Amino acid sequence: MSTKIFKHIQTSVVPLPIENIDTDQIIPARFLKATTREGFGNNLFRDWRFDNDGNPKEDFVLNEPKYSGKILVAGKNFGCGSSREHAAWAIADYGFDAVVSSFFADIFKGNALNNGLLPVQVSDDFLKRIFEVVDADPHTVIEIDLVDQFIKIVATGEQESFEVNPYKKACMTNGYDDIDYILSKKELVVEFEGRG
Amino acid sequence: MGQTLFDKIWDAHVVSSNEGFPDILYIDTHFIHEVTSPQAFDGLRLRGLPVFRPQQTVATADHNVPTWDQHLPIKEELSRYQVDMLTKNCAEFGIELYGLGHPFQGIVHVIGPELGITRPGSTYVCGDSHTSTHGAFGAIAFGIGTSQVEQVMATQCLLQSRPKRMKIEVNGKLQKGVGAKDIILYIIAQISAAGGTGYAVEYAGDTIRSLSMEGRMTICNMSIEMGARCGLIAPDETTINYVKGREFAPKGEEWDKAVAYWQTLYSDEDADFDSVLSFKAEDIEPMITYGTNPGMGIGVTQHVPETASFEQKEQGSYKKALNYMGLHDDQQLLGKPIDYVFIGSCTNSRIEDLREVAQFVKGKHKADNVIVWVVPGSKQVQEQAIREGLDKIFDAAGFPLREPGCSACLGMNEDKIPAGKYCVSTSNRNFEGRQGPNSRTFLASPLTAAASAITGVVTDIREFLKEEELV
């Protein structure tokens, strides 16, 4: 089955300069009861974004009109904690195509890649620069190119290359799916089982 | 060059390895539960695929279940729907389900080991990050997302890149009152909540070796809390004796053959690790966390760090955490009044945990300001506890023994800690809102939790043990 294709984006960003953002913040467990993949974006960062009565908290970035865009920029160790793929679904469902951080938790990174949401790991210094530039101008545009593997602050020209697993890159730029790949090797799986 | 334990098991499960691609890794057993499986079953339906090896798939309901009056229908509609959906999916795809009311029901990481499904040298995955627990048997076990759950259902394999290898050694004699939970909270406090990211961690050293299987499971369980892909401990006599005779453990000739293989599972003397860390057991105090990730832990007598002791760029996140917890720089937690004590979760809900707590609370009673929940990890643990009369000891102490489930570990089922309240919890995560919106969690060992329930404040278990020795 094909998945979402990602090659290149150029957009303003939403800055969230907090470290160790865990998947319970991204989507609290009480919102994991849906049995489909849709609709999780409504509860993205639920307890940071809304008060107990469901009113938006004005000082949270997703509620600040000056910030918008398809890239979420967050502090280091983003996505730590639970393996819930609902975290990646919530971020993608809200409308983000990429998350930028100086460090990602392992399982979150895999889940994001499996959902066409690109995790872009940058250096501490570059992350700091993005936060500075966006703080000075909330409309700052960032370019992310998966094909040539670079991220760029368009206005200043500052850029950095980023790593991505070549197989996952091929999947994302072509819309391939892991299951199709393993199914294409199914005879090897059966042969492995026969080895005892 | 010798091989690590991790590499021996990994290599024995590689179906296909191609340059530039992740390995195709064979999965011996896939555990599933109600929360992270429904979308995977839907995916199979869309593709028109069956579950490839249903007999290697084991299901239970744990995250959403109530831990009181389990014989009644689940009150929360969405929880009930999700649990019902698991029942329907398992029936449709031919998967054995240990659901509510089944004698084997329980937290997925408690039932696998106790049923003898978890064994040395095998590979396990589950759509739950605490799958690392099963590594305590000398196995490769890790949490996966729902797309991967679908992948394993469809192929019994997982595309996976080999992680780096880390060895963490703990040697020496533990102080009285210090246990496995304190060891792992200490390690995470030393290396941070991201210190193990990208690694498979093997725990070694004589302190680790001296632990029971329950203690080893507590350690491996929290590997994910330092970001590690998985944790594992080489199997030995303790492991073999634990597995022997269990429901699904190999029997007769199969058993002898299995044991012979398990005895080859250790890291060779000259095995190459990407990182090696070493800690002294004597340095470990009873531990408690003060912040909003499991790396924010201190010895129970120590003070909360000063904001100024962190780098500038980290200070904002640190202040946010202390503010959430209602704490301040340099505060000592010892003596701080608490509201709840939760003894349970896949980290600390096994029979040994309950025995340890019961032995300590026998003849004591909880403080008036504290509500205590003791939640067994499985139906089998609950029944064993009752057979041993632990339930009566708990009742007399004001520690009601509830029914099995994930309970107050994750704020998903009925068991939630109210906003603003402090809970000393034997679970694994102290994230904001983890135990319920705006709840505040102090992670600790079962003994520290029990002692704090008795006094009503954060307590150093060693003080109690000293007094008891004098009596």
Instruction: Kindly report, residue by residue over A125-171, the tens digit of the pLDDT.
Output: 999 999 999 999 999 999 999 999 999 999 999 999 999 999 999 99
pLDDT at A2: 62
**Helix then strand then coil, % of chain A, to nearest 5:** 35, 20, 45
Of B26, B82, B317, the CB nearest to A20: B317
pLDDT at B387: 98
Mutation target to probe the B interface, by most B beta carbons within 10 A, among A167, A179, A193 is A179
Name the residue of chain B whose CA is nearest to A33's CA. B78
pLDDT at B471: 62
Backbone Cα Rg of chain A = 18
Q: Does B35 touch chain A (CB under 8 A)?
A: yes
The ranges of chain A with pLDDT < 50 are none
* Other C-beta atoms lying within 10 Å of the C-beta of residue A78: 31
pLDDT at A77: 97
What burial class does residue B19 get, using C-beta atoms within 10 Å of its C-beta: 0-12 exposed, 13-18 middle, 19+ buried? exposed
Asked if B39 and A17 come within 8 Å (Cβ–Cβ), the reply is: no
Q: Quick one: which of B289, B300, B349 has its CA closest to B322?
A: B289
Q: Does A29 touch chain B (CB under 8 A)?
A: yes
CA–CA gap between residue B130 and residue A81 (Å, rounded): 9
CA–CA gap between residue B365 and residue B361 (Å, rounded): 7
Can you give the length of chain B in residues?
A: 471
Q: Does B407 touch chain A (CB under 8 A)?
A: no
CA–CA gap between residue B148 and residue B32 (Å, rounded): 12
CA–CA gap between residue B249 and residue B418 (Å, rounded): 42
Alpha helices by DSSP H, B157-272: 180-191, 206-209, 213-221, 237-243, 252-262
pLDDT at B468: 81
What residues of B are in contact with residue A192 (Cβ under 8 Å)?
15, 26
Of B145, B157, B317, the CB nearest to A18: B317
What residues of A are in contact with residue B222 (Cβ under 8 Å)?
none
**Count of CB pairs separated by less than 8 Å, A with B:** 172
pTM over 0.95: yes
Mean pLDDT in order along chain B per 10 residues (471 residues): 96 95 97 98 97 98 96 95 97 98 98 98 98 98 98 98 98 98 98 97 98 98 98 98 98 98 97 98 98 98 97 94 98 98 98 98 98 98 98 98 98 96 98 98 98 98 87 62
Nearest Cα of chain A lies from the Cα of B127 at a distance, in angstroms, of: 7
Can you give the length of chain A in residues?
A: 196
Name the residue of chain A whose CA is nearest to B38's CA. A35
Q: Does B332 touch chain A (CB under 8 A)?
A: no
Segment 129-168 of chain A within 8 Å of chain B by CB? 165-167
